[in-house]
Structure 1
Amino acid sequence: MKLSETHIVQKLEKPIRFQEYGVGVFNTIPTKSGIKKAIKKEHIFINGVLATTSKYISGGEKIELFESENSSTFERLELKLDVLFEDDYLAIIYKPAGILVSGNKFVTIANGLTQNLKKSNLVDAVKPQPIHRLDYPTSGVLLIGKTSSSITELGKLFKNKEIQKTYFAVVIGKICKGGIINLNVDNKNAYTEFEVLNFVISKRFEFLNLVKLQPKTGRKHQLRKHLTAIGNPILGDKEYFIEDTILNGKGLYLHASSLEFVHPFMKEKISVTKELPKKFTKIFPEV
C-alpha cells in the first residue's frame, strides 16, 4: 500500500471514538460510512497500529490513510478557499463568483471545505456544512458550521433574523437615494433596506449606482428580484433584467460583503467583512 494522507490530532476536549472523529479528516473520505469502510479494509493506521471502530483518541495521535497500489485513483477536488474566520465551532469563508455552494456538481464549496478548514476538536464534530446559500454568480462571505450543535444554533440565528447580512451591488438606471423595498417574493413577505453610496454616468445604461443592501428576510433571489421590480436591475444579471440591459461576460455585480452576529457559544460579537471584487472598484475606484 502507499501512503495517501496524514493527519495529526490536536488536543481534544475529551476522548472520542475514532469513527466519530474521523469524519472530515481526509479529503477522500468525507463521511462516517466511508471511515468505517476504510477501517474494515485496513487502510487506516493510528500511531502505526491498524485502526478499529472502537479505538478512542485524545490528542497527539498520528493518523495515516493508505491506498492499495492497484486501487483506482480518486478524483480529488483542488479548490483553495480564503478562510476569513475559524474556530472549533464555525468558520466564515469567501465564496468566489461562479461556484455552487452545494449540489450534485463535483466542484462546490461544500465539497472543498474539508481540505480548507481545520478539523474541529469538539465531540460533536461533523463534516463542515454551509449554513446558508449564495447564488452561483454571487461572491461573498459564507457561514459554515463545524459541529452538529453549531449547525443547529447558527440555523436558529438565521431563522430568528439575528445575523446581519450586508451586500453591495451595482445597479442600472436612475434610482432614489435609499429606502425600503417591501414587495412579496414567491407570495411571501420580503423586505430589503438599500442606500445609494455613489453613481457614475453611463453611455449605455444612463446611470450605474453602487448600492448597499441589507435584506431583512431571506427569500430566494430576493435582492435580484426586488431591484428589478423597482426598475433597477443588478448589472450583469441574466435572469432578472429589463430589456436591453443585459451585460455579457462580466458576471453578476452582487457581493455579500459582511456578516455580523453573536457567537452562539463564545457569546462574543463576530464581524467579518470581505472587500469588494476588482470589477466593482474598476467602476467605483474611490470605494
Structure 2
Amino acid sequence: MTETAPVLEILYQDDVLVAVNKPAGMLVHRSWLDRHETRFVMQTLRDQLGGQHVFPLHRLDRPTSGVLLFALSSEMAAEMMPKFAGREVKKTYHAVVRGWVKEAAVLDYPLKEELDKLDDKRTDQDKAPQEAVTAYWPLATVETQIPVGRYATSRYSLVEMKPETGRKHQLRRHMHHLSHHIIGDVNHGDGRHNRMFREHYDCHRLMLHASALEFIHPVSGQPLRIRADVDDSWLRVMDAFDWPLSLLTQAPEEN
C-alpha cells in the first residue's frame, strides 16, 4: 500500500520566499541519522510547488513544529542567510514546560556544541562553549491532580521564548538548565512527565512550536511577520488546561 504524501500548509509565498508550517516529527531534509525516513519537508514542498527548488534558510529540529522559511533561489538564500546569522530575523516559540515559571527573564548560558556521531565526526570535539541567549516569559500556569513521581499534583507552565542566538537544541537545553524541561523532550526532558502527557492527554510530541518569524522583506523593504497555528496535540493540551488560544498570539506584555 503506497503511503499518501503529506500536504504542507503554506503560510506565506511570493516570488522569492515561501514559508510552511512544519509538522512535528518531519525532517527538513535527508540525514544520515535517519536513513530509513522517506518524508522530508524540502522534497514535499518542492513537489507541491510543481518542482520548484527551495533552499532552507534556517532549521527546525525534527520534533519541533512551526514556521519554516525557504528561499526560491540560491541568490535569495545567499542574501537572506546572513540576516539569520546577524540576528535580523526575530523568532518566537511557545512551549509547555514542567513546573511553574514565575517571572520573565533572559538566560545567558553558553552551550557546548552538541555533536552527532556521524554528521559531526570531523568537527572539533573540544570547542569551547558558545554564547547562547534566550529571553522567556511565563504566559499561564496550571496544577493538575495527576501525581507524577513523589508529588500528589503536577505543575506546568506555558512559556513564550525568543532565542537571541541559534545554538543546536538551545531552547530545550536552556529549559533543562532551569529545571523547566519541555514536555515531550526525550533527550533533555523528564520521562515521567512525558509519559503522563502521553497517557492522559494523548500527547506524543515535543511541546515546542515555532510560532512566528519577523523580518524586513529583502525586496519590498517592508516588515513581515509570518505566524503558524498549533496542531491537534497542542489544542488538546490547551483545552485540558483551560488555556485560551489567544495566549499564543498576544505579546507577553498583553497577557
For the aligned pair, the TM-score class normalised by the smaller chain equals 0.7 to 0.9
The whole-number CA distance in structure 1 between the counterparts of 2:192 and 2:3 is 42
The whole-number CA distance in structure 2 between the counterparts of 1:132 and 1:153 is 13
The whole-number CA distance in structure 1 between the counterparts of 2:147 and 2:133 is 30
The whole-number CA distance in structure 1 between the counterparts of 2:92 and 2:76 is 22
| Superposition deviation, residue 242 in structure 1 | 3.8
Q: 2:215 aligns with which of 252, 261, 283?
A: 261
The code of the aligned residue for 2:211 comes to S
The whole-number CA distance in structure 2 between the counterparts of 1:243 and 1:83 is 34
1:76-91 alignment, distance < 5 Å: 78-91=5-18
| Superposition deviation, residue 265 in structure 1 | 1.6
- Tell me which residue corresponds to 1:154: 80
The code of the aligned residue for 2:56 comes to P
1:1-287 alignment, distance < 5 Å: 78-104=5-31, 105-117=37-49, 127-186=53-112, 187-202=129-144, 203-204=146-147, 206-242=154-190, 244-247=192-195, 248=198, 250-285=204-239, 286-287=244-245
Aligned CA distance change for structure 1 residues 161 and 234 (closer, same or farther; 3 Å): same
Q: Name the stretch that deviates more: 210-219 or 77-86.
A: 77-86
The whole-number CA distance in structure 2 between the counterparts of 1:77 and 1:267 is 39
Q: Which has the higher contact order (CA 8 A, sep 6+)?
A: 2
TM-score, normalised by the number of residues in structure 2: 0.76
The whole-number CA distance in structure 1 between the counterparts of 2:229 and 2:9 is 12
Q: Name the stretch that deviates more: 94-103 or 245-254.
A: 245-254
SS of residue matched to 2:193: coil
Please say if residues 195 and 212 of structure 1, whose CA atoms lie closer than 8 Å, have aligned partners that are also in contact: yes
- Tell me which residue corresponds to 2:123: none
| Superposition deviation, residue 270 in structure 1 | 1.2
The whole-number CA distance in structure 1 between the counterparts of 2:51 and 2:191 is 49
TM-score, normalised by the number of residues in structure 1: 0.68
SS of residue matched to 1:166: strand
| Superposition deviation, residue 184 in structure 1 | 1.0
Q: Is there any run of 5+ residues in structure 1 with no aligned partner, and where?
A: 1-74, 121-126
Please say if residues 77 and 112 of structure 1, whose CA atoms lie closer than 8 Å, have aligned partners that are also in contact: no
| Superposition deviation, residue 243 in structure 1 | 6.2
The code of the aligned residue for 1:253 comes to M
The code of the aligned residue for 1:228 comes to H
Q: Name the stretch that deviates more: 275-284 or 157-166.
A: 275-284
> Quick check: which one's strand share is greater?
1
The code of the aligned residue for 1:140 comes to G
> Quick check: which one's helix share is greater?
2
Q: Is there any run of 5+ residues in structure 2 with no aligned partner, and where?
A: 32-36, 113-128, 149-153, 246-255
Q: Name the stretch that deviates more: 228-237 or 197-206.
A: 197-206
Aligned CA distance change for structure 1 residues 204 and 277 (closer, same or farther; 3 Å): farther
| Superposition deviation, residue 132 in structure 1 | 0.8
Bigger Rg, which one: 1
Deviations 1:213-248 (A, max 9, x none): 100000000000000110000011111024633334
The whole-number CA distance in structure 2 between the counterparts of 1:261 and 1:119 is 27
Percent of matched pairs sharing the same residue: 31
| Superposition deviation, residue 200 in structure 1 | 1.0
The whole-number CA distance in structure 2 between the counterparts of 1:103 and 1:91 is 20
Aligned residues: 207
SS of residue matched to 1:103: coil
